[in-house]
Structure 1
């Protein structure tokens, strides 16, 4: 069965098309057929003006039309479409979502930060890791950071903070917000087993690729600090040239590293695994669960 997930974030929109194959034992395997990313950068509008501009609206509609065409070409049977932080903050989000529905037939749901944290966990990465540690999922986006914490395969907390890469670039994160996140992490993770982090989001995936580490090997906190120091010393054009980064990655990678580093420091974590998953992957799992067990969750 072919499934698709659309994730409209504050920095980019993604379409993930996946084929789910179930073996004779009933175990499902998720095979990625295509992943398309378009740098919409909605947060640059919304975090300044609280609305999405007409130009950005047209860009979104063109993007979703293209995604709709790909969904049809791949003969996708079921899809799910969600929007996160920028759409949560945009005063004209309802009108734009209605316009998108009229133009493309695609229904988009704006999800809360709490839902976002839950959906990312749907990848169940921690279940394949040892139980000698606690695990803290860190998903860094343009508008928010989602944290989900597990101990002995049990959810301890999930929390969303309005600290994201675009908000940081625009100097819209007050010190008090950092303090709230720091206090929350320190209090909520105290007394548990040693914590290992699991990172998701385009920036940590890019850092992992740059590190040349083998899949399944973690990155150390010290390595992230080294990358932060190194990348911070260059301008955006220099980062683009020296590290072969797109502009929409080169500008946000440094603020993203600052978030991952702080969360790891405050949780006393020394390593972070980067399984190259994100919200779109979690949405595929949610959709699959819904199809197989409609009572599981409503999409």
Structure 2
């Protein structure tokens, strides 16, 4: 349209790159702020789920600030360079004609391939989750599902835009109608935009599920091996390695609300010529609060 209004190739290319630079700078700054927020969230999350975490504030250096900004700007400008050059080469009247019609959404091969990939992804995922539990099978199914959505995206984006964009014309008037028609005009571009959002949601979901699974695994492991109600221990960080007094177990045992208590100690011993860290305790008193599995063997 700018070419039809009299803009030169250099003006169109420069204008496109200027817009890409503004988007790159804004997006890189937002991503950097989001990364800092995630780091702060992880710093609060690890102690909450039982992982020891060193005390102290986040360390943010100049390189850690400049490098993400530089990478984001360079990648964004690099991805916009070819479209900017292509936009500058458009003939002045080309934008007024339907010179290129995107028919990717009507491809029968795409629909068949995408449907087959979805069926395969469901089969592999359900097999890895229900029939034969396997992390590799479940992960393979998730990757196949992403591939299926990428392949099938242009074929279903038209239907999705018609359904989800129907209220736009009533809510936003002409602007909403133009946005809806623009999304329908290029199914491949619409699917690519949605695919980027889908990838971001998938990454966030991955870390959320991983954190929840890790916490559940640790809780289950502790529940199986620890039969007591309360464990008293010194912090891993900031305690200076002093530990607790050996008399604490006897003092806790003497409390009327305590049924049994046992103390654990740590030390270093030479085993087979090498120093090993050992945990010492009274085995007879340990059988109550802690469930110890026995493995038969020979001396």
TM-score tier, shorter chain, comes to: under 0.3
> Greater CA radius of gyration, 1 or 2?
2
Q: Which of the pair is proportionally richer in helix?
A: 2
TM-score for both structures, normalised by structure 2: 0.24
Larger RCO of the pair (alpha carbons < 8 Å, separation 6+): 1
Q: Which of the pair is proportionally richer in strand?
A: 1
TM-score for both structures, normalised by structure 1: 0.24
